[in-house]
Amino acid sequence: MSQQQNLSPTTADAAASLFPVNSRIVAMGDSLTASGIAVISPTRSSYQSRGYTTYAAIASDNRFYMPIGGNKGVSGNTTTDMINRLGAALALNPAIAIVLGGTNDLGTSATSETIINNLRRLHSGFIAVRAKVIAITILPRFGANIPTPANEIKRQEVNTWIRTQSSDDITVIDAEIFMNDAAYYYDGLHLNSIGAAILGTAVADILNSMSKAGRVADVLAVDTAYNLNLYFAGTAGVKTNGATGVVATSYELDRGASGANVDGVVLSNAGIRTQQINITGTYTGANQLVSMKNNSTVNPPAIGDIMEAFAEYEFVTNDPNIVGVNVTYFVYTSTFSQLARADSLLALDQLSNTMTTGKIYTLRTPSVAIGNTGTPTRVAMELTILLKETTVATAINASLVIHKIGTRKVPSIL
């Protein structure tokens, strides 16, 4: 993997140049960037995302904030189309901009010089608003989508130019080197979940090098008005569908299907409380998932508010039958008419390795604006541990600790 990074020459200068946790980020591109949504097939074992931005966010611990509309990927876009949309991206006031474009230009009359000039304008536009640019070379193609010899020459000419752009303002990711495998693409052009995870991790390496130390959950937890029992006080939580043990006040631990044992434990270490969930035994039915829920009518958001949810957790013991972890945020009217919903995206079964035990991970939902089709009165938020959807009995032995879980109202200015 070749990544050209340009940090300041001294440690002090480098520290000063790093971005605070929760700085804004946008991603400009075509369908390769737009593919940031979940793909859910009839079985949860195929719950996944084909978007590299999804995996970049996860691998960078979600330390950067992508505002609503911050994914500026549009399917079929050429770099000329991206130029026409640049103003909308700049209006989001990004600290960092990811730029991946040019593959759709290859089959048009655009010359390599045209593509280069458009990319130069994109880079310069972001730099003009003091954003740092992560520039990614045009990805290779395979199979039925392999470019003609003439178009491959154009691709290589553009990539040669991109490689020369490394500077204080531009960090280059030469994806040609580590994305040159047909196994990373589901149709020879678009990334499958494995390819998305590999490219996303490369982007995350750069994001991590640009970010100051700190955990985003600590930043988001400041908004105590929208966090109900963030630190797991009390033991009056509810257990449903056969769950047992101790659950923090205001939360509900749901076992899901029958058969397995789901046990809650509230831990305290140096005065810091956490909620542990132990899953053991054998599931025997459908709906094989475990969820930690929080439903509240306290201080609901107002119409037009922008909200998000987050969770910080770690696996003490992992299990290959766990295929995903998700955080979901809902807003309802008093009659349970849904006004807003946002989901984080993570599928463990689509990656080459499961989540490392003993490491703290952070998920956060995309921000969502509260709709005006009713009055918000109730907020629901949950962390769900997804198991393989199967009709046969599933033995499992896993333990997960939730460090923080909550919601926040996004300030109008970040």
Q: pLDDT tens across 349-399, in order?
A: 445 445 678 888 898 999 999 988 999 999 999 998 887 766 678 889 999
On whether the CB atoms of residues 262 and 276 are closer than 8 A, the answer is no
- Which portions of the chain are predicted below pLDDT 70? 1-16, 36-48, 345-355, 389-391, 413-414
Pairing of strands 25-29, 96-100: parallel
**What does the block give as tokens for 238?**
């509810």
Q: What is the pLDDT, as a whole number, of residue 81?
A: 98
Map tokens 């458009």 to a residue: 118
- The CA distances from residue 155 to 2, 187, 358, in Å, are 18, 19, 43
In the chain, the domains with their CATH numbers are 2-214 (3.40.50.1110), 217-409 (2.60.120.260)
Q: Quickly list H helices, 164-306.
A: 175-178, 193-210, 216-220
pLDDT in tens, 126-168: 999 999 999 999 999 999 999 999 999 999 999 999 999 999 9
Nearest C-alpha neighbor of 365 from the set 338, 317, 322, 326:
326
The span from the CA of 321 to the CA of 21, in Å, is 33
Q: What is the pLDDT, as a whole number, of residue 43?
A: 53
Q: What is the pLDDT, as a whole number, of residue 255?
A: 94
Which amino acid is present at 40?
A: I
Which amino acid is present at 342?
A: A
Q: What is the pLDDT, as a whole number, of residue 223?
A: 87
Q: Quickly list H helices, 164-284.
A: 175-178, 193-210, 216-220
Q: What is the pLDDT, as a whole number, of residue 4?
A: 45
Q: Give the pTM.
A: 0.89
Q: What is the pLDDT, as a whole number, of residue 99?
A: 98
**What does the block give as tokens for 286?**
């459908």
Contacts for 271 with CB less than 8 Å, ≥ 6 apart: none
